């Protein structure tokens, strides 16, 4: 299968269709612009065909829980139901039936199927920006909460899309500055009130 048409981002000259030649390019043949081309294996692989279930042929052969005419190939790792090739959902090396996958996803019990993940770096930075937006006198309180939250969430699973650990690390000096500055602001305010 040929790679889809790819062109130079600068001069729009079409690049070779052959995946091997395309991967070997480091500069555009027309304008000389440096190129970095990464080909994913799915680009050259054709569509995969599904597996058809086998029919139960002999008496006493295990049948699928949902499709009694289909031969069972594996049991569900969650509930133990026999699954045919149509019902078998292989995820992270485990075989799960559609019912267990759906109910486990709703309850958050399927550890290898993660639908969302908290971003502790966003929580910390929102805490640090809150006093700037609202009232400046809560600097020490929000900075202290941000520091504690950073320490608690330091070993949390990182984000799938961003480098949350680096953002948490940058939040520590900002939180310390806000804490010290907020306490100094409080002392200054208390002296002015007297």
Residue ranges per domain, the chain?
Answer: 1-48, 49-113, 120-193
Distance CA 131, CA 135 (A): 5
Under CATH, which architecture does the 49-113 domain have?
2-Layer Sandwich (3.30)
Calculate the average pLDDT of the chain: 81
Q: Return the SS3 of 55.
A: strand
Structure tokens at 152: 């608690």
**HSE on the CB side for 9, CA within 13 Å?**
6
Distance CA 160, CA 164 (A): 9
Residue 48's pLDDT band (boundaries 50, 70, 90)?
low
Average pLDDT over residues 152-162: 79
Distance CA 153, CA 140 (A): 20
Structure tokens at 92: 């992270």
User: Does residue 183 or residue 40 have the better pLDDT?
Assistant: 183
Distance CA 53, CA 26 (A): 46
- Report whether pLDDT(165) > 90: no
Q: Helix, strand, coil: what percent of the chain each, to 5? A: 40, 10, 50
Average pLDDT over residues 3-8: 71
pLDDT tens digits, residue range 74-119? 999 888 999 998 898 888 788 889 998 888 777 766 666 666 677 8
Give the pTM.
Answer: 0.44
Average pLDDT over residues 34-43: 76
Structure tokens at 41: 């294996």
- Report whether pLDDT(60) > 50: yes
Average pLDDT over residues 1-24: 78
- Report whether pLDDT(190) > 70: yes
Of the chain, the percentage scoring pLDDT greater than 90 comes to 8
Q: Return the SS3 of 27.
A: strand
Tell me which residue of 15, 14, 19 sits closest to 45, measured CA to CA.
19
Average pLDDT over residues 39-63: 74
Distance CA 125, CA 16 (A): 46
- Report whether pLDDT(47) > 70: no
């Amino acid at each position: 299968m040929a790679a889809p048409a790819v062109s130079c981002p600068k001069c729009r000259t079409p690049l070779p269709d052959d995946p091997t030649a395309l991967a070997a390019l480091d500069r555009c043949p027309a304008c000389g612009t440096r190129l970095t081309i990464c080909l994913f294996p799915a680009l050259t692989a054709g569509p995969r065909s599904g597996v058809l279930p086998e029919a139960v042929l002999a008496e006493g052969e295990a049948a699928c829980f949902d499709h009694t005419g289909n031969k069972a190939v594996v049991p569900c790792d969650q509930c133990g139901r026999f699954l045919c090739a149509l019902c078998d959902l292989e995820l992270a090396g485990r075989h799960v039936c559609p019912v267990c996958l759906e109910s486990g996803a709703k309850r958050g019990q399927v550890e290898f199927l993660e639908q969302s993940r908290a971003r502790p770096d966003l929580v910390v930075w929102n805490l640090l920006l809150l006093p700037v937006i609202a009232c400046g006198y809560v600097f020490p309180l929000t900075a202290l909460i941000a520091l504690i939250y950073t320490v608690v969430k330091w070993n949390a699973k990182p984000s799938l899309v961003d480098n949350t650990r680096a953002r948490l690390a940058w939040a520590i000096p900002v939180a310390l500055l806000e804490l010290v500055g907020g306490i100094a602001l409080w002392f200054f305010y208390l002296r002015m009130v007297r």
